[in-house]
Amino acid sequence: MAPEQRGKEYYALLQRLQEIDFVLVELNLYLDTHPTDMNAIEQFNQLTEKRWALANEYEKLYGPLQGFGRSYSGYPWQWNDEPWPWQV
């Protein structure tokens, strides 16, 4: 899909994924030093599930987020579509 065809939902999904990824990184770092904090572990797991759901939704609509076998590609090969998620 060409960049000009992507609407607000495209950017909203990417932003939400980036927000969740940020929190997951912070929780991961916190849990490295507080491995018995059950509340943090539960929050990490809940956000991980939410991230998987959002990533699946994004990929169904706009194509893969990750290469090298971590995301499926539709036909034709979708890695030619720009902008790539990390360029936005």
Half-sphere exposure at residue 78, Cβ-oriented, CA atoms within 13 angstroms: 19
pLDDT tens profile 29-50: 999 999 999 999 999 999 999 9
In a domain, 20, yes or no: yes
Q: What is the mean pLDDT of the chain?
A: 84
**Contact in structure between 44 and 27 (CB atoms under 8 Å):** yes
Model pLDDT, residue 82: 74
Contacts of 70 (CB under 8 A, 6+ apart): 64
Rounded CA-CA distance 8/59 in Å is 16
Q: Does a structural domain hold residue 1?
A: no
Give domain status of residue 2, yes or no: no
In a domain, 16, yes or no: yes
| HSE-up of residue 86 (Cα within 13 Å, Cβ side) | 5
Number of domains in the chain: 1
User: 3-state class of 65 per DSSP?
Assistant: coil
Q: Could you list the residue range(s) of the whole structural domain that residue 56 is in?
A: 7-65+73-87
Residue 36 lies in a domain: yes
pLDDT at position 68: 67
Residues of the chain with pLDDT under 70: 1-6, 68-73, 76-80, 86, 88
